[in-house]
Amino acid sequence: MKYFTFEWWLSGGDNGVASSKYFDYIESINNDIYPKLLDFIKNHSLHDSNLETIESDFSVGKTVIVLNGWDPDFQTKRQYKLELNDVTCFSFVGKISGDLLEDSSGFGDFGYYEYELLEDANSEIRMLFSSGVEITIRFCQFDFSFQVKK
């Protein structure tokens, strides 16, 4: 993680400095981000989600992530499905535990994610969970969908 580190999270944040720097970065690359990804970044939230599944098929370069979370106002439950294609790198760092925040995946709550446009036309998404687990995925294509949950 570059902006939203685990140490930053444990310290209680910085009164919006990290998110301000991150969203300034996003604004600086607005015209270069896939429209669907830009919509996701600006209009949806994964904060306090729980990971349901993560599946990677490295033979075809595809990763699908399903998270149970909320709308951006935390009023309505949503299930998000993220599809990343042309995946060239998948990194998992951390130790999972089965008792974190009553989350059966052992990752704990989804805290923060960051997107970065790389020089080689790839993109990278970095995800941080309350357990300290970080997942980084380098990809070229992004899609997402969500459904309202009861």
Print the domain residue range for 77: 6-148
Residues 6+ apart with CB under 8 A from 80: 44, 46, 49, 65, 66, 67, 68, 69, 144, 145, 146
In a domain, 1, yes or no: no
In a domain, 34, yes or no: yes
In a domain, 91, yes or no: yes
In a domain, 136, yes or no: yes
pLDDT(25) > 90: yes
- Distances in Å between the Cα of 61 and the Cα atoms of 2, 19, 38, 92, 134 are 24, 30, 22, 16, 20
Residue 108: pLDDT band with limits 50, 70, 90:
confident
pLDDT(21) > 50: yes
In a domain, 44, yes or no: yes
Cα–Cα–Cα angle for 145, 93, 119, rounded to 5 degrees: 65
- Distances in Å between the Cα of 83 and the Cα atoms of 4, 47, 115 are 22, 18, 14
In a domain, 52, yes or no: yes
Place of tokens 């042309």: 86
Residue 98: pLDDT band with limits 50, 70, 90:
low
Structural domain count of the chain: 1
pLDDT in tens, 52-90: 999 999 999 999 999 999 999 999 999 999 999 999 999
